[in-house]
Amino acid sequence: MIRRSAGLPPRLLTAHGTTLFVAPKSGELMHGQVGDSPANARLVSDGAHGQIMYEVAGSLRPIICRTNRSEILNMDGEEGGQEDATVFAIMDLSNGRVALKAEGLFLCAEPDGRVTLSRTACATWESFLLAEPPSVFQPNVLRHSNDLVRLAVKHGVDKWGSHWYAQHYHNHFSPYRDQKLSLLEIGVGGYDNPNAGGGSLRMWEEYFPSAIIHGIDIFDKQPHERGRVKIHQGSQFDEDFLRSVFKDAGSFDIIIDDGSHINAHVIKSFEVLFPLLSNNGIYAVEDVQTSYWPEFGGNSDDLDSNGTIVGFFKSLVDSLNYEEFIKPNYQPTYFDKHIVSIHFYHNLIVILKGSNDEGSNILRNNERV
């Protein structure tokens, strides 16, 4: 028995960053970009069981889901027998998402936009986030789709689907997409298999059509070098190697650290590379959850330790305001003078470089006047 909860039932967001909707002409249940898709498919549930409903003109029509396509249930009783709408068991997944299961199969958001009841196992594309209708604030609080999300899915990159970084990267990078940039990513992927990995380099190559993309890896990744993609082999913990890559590249406008995720490595790479980043450049550090994991040199007790990634970057927050310190003769550090903002997201830190010299409205040279 389906009970309609108070208020508007939630929409369903997929791991592609898209939302389920009903194509009004064909009546087919599909998934598409949140901004472009009508908000007309909703999950009506009692918490344990639910039906996907097409909402039109204030009424709800049930959806039937099949192995090859899903569509609005024909309520007119066609010849050949009336089918039943699909009733799902709603299964809570550990990551706040749900799986929808009926007749022993999971609902799946297919890469081609169809929604099918076809999978015997539940993985990424069989998981859904229940979302309230979009508001103007949605991009800040919900996983939302954009062009980089599309490319991450296309190239099989875990910056979307496993992690949720692509939405933040798009917010930071999209104004510069068409510029002749130099982007460096530490960590090509695929570890000791030379042919494996490289998905994110290809994603950046497509996202930034005029950029040169440099990839660093400790293993040989030469097979990924092509056109605007350059490969360098060495460790992110080796200062001489990092400087030699900079010498080859000439400049870095964007640096992304997705390498070893060892705390000491990440901090060392930042200390060497941030001064080499262009003024107004962007530096990103992924997977900073290793700050809390001892096997990567992190810990979950001393959260302000300068030896952990998050602890280190937290200590730089005060740098933003160094001009307000009441400390006569204070000598600003390089980071004081060149970090203009630090963004902390779940497992991702983004640091913007610039000239941090707005000045205090009260103090002069760290003294009251």
Ligand X SMILES: C[S@@+](CC[C@H](N)C(=O)[O-])C[C@H]1O[C@@H](n2cnc3c(N)ncnc32)[C@H](O)[C@@H]1O
The piece of 112-120, 213-221, 300-308, 330-338 that touches ligand X (CB under 6 A) is: 213-221
Respond yes or no: is residue 232 known to be catalytic: no
* The binder of ligand X chosen from 53, 99, 122, 188 (CB under 6 A): 188
As a whole number of angstroms, the distance between CA 357 and CA 339 comes to 10
The type of residue at 235 is S
The piece of 13-21, 92-100, 135-143, 256-264 that touches ligand X (CB under 6 A) is: 256-264
276 by Cβ neighbours in 10 Å (0-12 / 13-18 / 19+) ranks as middle
Binding mask 126-165 for ligand X (x = CB under 6 A): -------------------------------x-x------
297 touching ligand X, by CB under 6 A: no
Which residue carries 């001064």 as its tokens?
A: 275
* The binder of ligand X chosen from 237, 283, 313, 335 (CB under 6 A): 237
Among residues 38 and 307, whose Cβ is nearest to ligand X? Answer: 307
DSSP 85: P
53-83 burial, b at 16+ Cβ within 10 Å, e below that, comes to bbbeeeebbbbbbeeebbbbbeeeeeeeeee
Give least dist CB 226 to ligand X, A: 16
185 touching ligand X, by CB under 6 A: yes
Give least dist CB 157 to ligand X, A: 5
Structure token pair of residue 57: 């003109």
As a whole number of angstroms, the distance between CA 296 and CA 162 comes to 20
* The binder of ligand X chosen from 10, 50, 197, 297 (CB under 6 A): 197
Task: Give Rg (Cα) of the chain.
Answer: 25
| Residue 148 CB neighbours (<10 A) | 26
Residue 289 dihedral angles phi and psi, to the nearest 5°:
-60, -20
257 touching ligand X, by CB under 6 A: no
Report how many residues bind ligand X under the rule CB under 6 A: 23
Binding mask 260-289 for ligand X (x = CB under 6 A): x----x------------------------
* The binder of ligand X chosen from 176, 219, 292, 325 (CB under 6 A): 219
* The binder of ligand X chosen from 139, 199, 281, 297 (CB under 6 A): 199
The piece of 2-10, 204-212, 258-266, 352-360 that touches ligand X (CB under 6 A) is: 258-266
As a whole number of angstroms, the distance between CA 250 and CA 175 comes to 22
* The binder of ligand X chosen from 9, 161, 259, 311 (CB under 6 A): 259
CB 278 within 8 A of CB 256: no
CA 273 vs CA 177, 241, 254: distances in Å: 22, 11, 11
CB 188 within 8 A of CB 221: yes
CA 185 vs CA 181, 218, 247, 356: distances in Å: 13, 12, 16, 25
* The binder of ligand X chosen from 8, 191, 346, 357 (CB under 6 A): 191
The piece of 16-24, 233-241, 321-329, 349-357 that touches ligand X (CB under 6 A) is: 233-241
Annotated catalytic residues are 261
By CB under 6 A, name the binding residues for ligand X.
157, 159, 185-191, 197, 199-200, 216-219, 235-237, 258-260, 265
